[in-house]
Structure 1
């Protein structure tokens, strides 16, 4: 008997783990198709139509076979709240097919509280995948005759995307979140002037492109994250920037006003958004002054900030150089920047961090 996988969830937003679960289920279970079923709207979830748009973007990015991957808005349109009602709907629609209900190991313990769970057991076969930090409830697994889908465990949670802690979803989904100020980006937008926010989004997209096109070893999604947050402290009062710098980075004082925000942004990204990726944080911390012995991500974010296409000065030459080779592009960016500063009589080596960067990388 042919089978269909029912994959019900909030998908708020869809993440890489969801997509890998679905692809694995389709192939390992030899199913005809996987149907994603976003759960009905509620006050704690993004509107269902937005979630469906992001699912479609993820499908496009993963280049899935549209005849094998479908999205059903049945719970959103019909305001269905109970899984049993959803299963009955699909059993009626696909009466000649076996229904496989896909869920994560973290959901197993809640199965017994589902309304009509005994009827669900008669209508579907339960398939589960393991999740880090959750013990398998062997009693329920046996009771509901559940089968485990053996795939690589991806410890990814949508709530961590919503908070900005990480961005492990597809590129187009992250673009959609940033462009429409959803989830944590709504908070970022409220902290910045609009022009500063749009600059940050452009830096994030440029950083991602540099990571991909230059074929460096950096995670492009982490580069995107660093780009989004690099100026999150730029528009807070200067006194607050000074206070944060003095509290956490006093070793670099005195700091010129134009550079204070790099330290403030690093503190805010860690303190207010919970980001703990040290590579991401350090690339935020030195994106303005630079420093000696910069890491690859520090170089990438430093360059992306200077070469993103919405800048009011010419950036194409340096940007294309970064796309070809990160190291050479970074040096090109420094040279073009130095040329600009000299032409406009701008002091650019006032802080010792900047002075040491130029001395090391341009041999000055």
Structure 2
């Protein structure tokens, strides 16, 4: 058999990886194509996702690709030493002596191939194949020196780094869904959607919501996701926000614009990040005003948002209460909101009194 090989961190796998595999299968007439996620990449010090997550994302990305599969040859190695291609290829060629291997790499790596461990030996063990990468030359002296085959593919521009910076359009939808519901990379994906102060607030709220959830017997992961994403639409341009509110949330269009983001953030989570967990989405929708149908997870997020230590006041006693009993902490937060609003002559939305009545009881003060 003719087998294509592509190694890497796949942290995460993106559409560019799948596209180049498809092109290689077609142009090189391959019988099979193996993705080899590395356990310890010699070229990268830090990998964000776990081995299990990276394998799961790869399997999702190739689920409808008949000739593609994932090889865990490097992930399964007992040693914690860095994975070197020469060692992997020695193993593969020994195990499959009758197969012909085609080892692919982008022109970024082909141009620096002389730096690889045992580069000449690699070129003798397998057929090297280079493919075009955006921002790199389409030719190099290494191609001839190490006997590369050169693919004539449209340059691959997608990169895992860009995805972590928010370029989620480079992901297969099934992979994006997995990422979002496992809370992977979200902290970096949202960074470019908001100013630094709000970004730091989002990270702080995510940590606190997860803490409240864990200490109240709830799903810590869901708490983190709801917390990190709760303000994702806070800085959405007003023209876009108005259009979305008119189309999807007309019943709230007359609410103050500063609270629109609780519904719009839920919209962005569902439509852009493909989060379909109703509990997370509902918690985000309730995080500013609360509601009579707020869940325990919603209470965790509501309180974490109000008690975020970065807000600049001592909220330690209220945080301790929430960690002990989120229902009690939520009631305390509602009472604190009412007291603060009355003391500062701030208008209170009528729906608040329905929430207050349900969770605390009869209002003892005049509106």
Residue 337 (structure 1) shift: 2.5
Asked if 1:219 is matched to 2:219, the reply is yes
2:90 corresponds to which of 72, 77, 85: 85
Answer whether contact 2:245 2:264 (CA < 8 A) is retained: yes
Asked if 1:185 is matched to 2:183, the reply is no
Counterpart Cα distance in 2 of 1:300 and 1:86:
51
Counterpart Cα distance in 1 of 2:325 and 2:99:
55
Answer whether contact 2:205 2:228 (CA < 8 A) is retained: yes
Answer whether contact 1:37 1:72 (CA < 8 A) is retained: no
- Which residue of structure 2 lines up, in the alignment, with residue 10 of structure 1? 9
CA distance 1:50–1:359, shift in 2 (3 Å): same
Asked if 1:73 is matched to 2:82, the reply is yes
Q: 1:271-322, CA deviations, whole angstroms, 9 ceiling, x for partnerless residues?
A: 1111111110011111111111311111111111111211123322211110
Q: 1:86-113, CA deviations, whole angstroms, 9 ceiling, x for partnerless residues?
A: 679xx9xxxxxxxxx9xxxxxxxxxx97
- Which residue of structure 2 lines up, in the alignment, with residue 204 of structure 1? 206
1:356 corresponds to which of 336, 350, 354: 354
Asked if 1:341 is matched to 2:356, the reply is no
Give the length in aligned residue pairs.
239
CA distance 1:344–1:82, shift in 2 (3 Å): farther
CA distance 1:343–1:54, shift in 2 (3 Å): same
Asked if 1:48 is matched to 2:44, the reply is yes
- Which residue of structure 2 lines up, in the alignment, with residue 179 of structure 1? none
Task: Give the structure with higher Rg (CA).
Answer: 2
Counterpart Cα distance in 2 of 1:86 and 1:12:
24
- Which residue of structure 1 lines up, in the alignment, with residue 237 of structure 2? 237
Unaligned runs of 5+ in 1: 1-7, 14-35, 42-46, 59-67, 92-100, 102-111, 117-156, 169-173, 175-182
Counterpart Cα distance in 2 of 1:113 and 1:343:
79
SS of the residue corresponding to residue 272 of structure 2 reads helix
Counterpart Cα distance in 1 of 2:243 and 2:352:
21
Answer whether contact 2:211 2:323 (CA < 8 A) is retained: yes
Counterpart Cα distance in 1 of 2:86 and 2:330:
53
Residue 358 (structure 1) shift: 2.1
Alignment RMSD: 3.7
CA distance 1:309–1:73, shift in 2 (3 Å): same
Residue 339 (structure 1) shift: 2.4
Counterpart Cα distance in 2 of 1:314 and 1:207:
17
2:181 corresponds to which of 166, 185, 203: 166
Residue 246 (structure 1) shift: 2.0
Residue 357 (structure 1) shift: 1.5
- Which residue of structure 1 lines up, in the alignment, with residue 296 of structure 2? 296
SS of the residue corresponding to residue 322 of structure 1 reads helix
Residue 238 (structure 1) shift: 2.5
